[in-house]
Amino acid sequence: MKKIFLSILTISAFAFYVAYQRMGWGSSTLPQLPGQNPAFTFPAFSNVFGNYKDGRYQGISVDAYYGRVEVLAIIEGGRIVDIEFLDYPHEQPTSKQINAEAVPMLEIEAIVAQSAEVDIVSGATQTSRAFKESLASALAKAK
């Protein structure tokens, strides 16, 4: 019985750790679903001063092979609260399908990370790389 309890406890601890890392609970914000308030933070983890100057900062337009990617970073309270895609590959049916999933994922991950350092979305490598470059240029203006 002790072995079963210990096994369950170990698996539960590992699952919590993975969720903690993947969901960004150790960062200053929780991942947000579209339509939710991305400015919500845990007070214990929030950076009072933020890292950026408030405003709207447009990134450079970057070639993503099947189109261009350009973003607008919206900063409030020194933090990224929203990212708008001004342009992204959406002319071809495949691009529409891929980016319908990739665009929201990239936005959420960047808001959670509070930087352009996000993971590449599988299947949307070119869009992801262009997103990172465009967002990095916008955030450089906000420093």
pLDDT digits (tens, 9 = 90+) for 54-108: 999 999 999 999 999 999 999 999 999 999 999 999 899 999 999 999 999 999 9
The DSSP line for 52-87 is S-SEEEEPPPEE-SSSEEEEEEEEETTEEEEEEEEE
13-37 in b/e form (b: 16+ CB < 10 A) is eeeeeeeeeeebeebbbbbbeeeee
At residue 16, the pLDDT reads 67
For 137, the domain range is: 2-141
In the predicted structure, residue 8 carries a pLDDT above the cut 90 = no
What are the two backbone dihedrals, phi and then psi, of residue 84, each rounded to the nearest 5 degrees? -110, 135
The number of domains in the chain is 1
The pLDDT value recorded for residue 107 is 96
Which pLDDT score is estimated for 21?
66
Q: Can you give the pTM of this predicted structure?
A: 0.66
At residue 35, the pLDDT reads: 46
CATH number at residue 122: 3.90.1010.20
Q: Does the pLDDT of residue 31 top 50, yes or no?
A: no
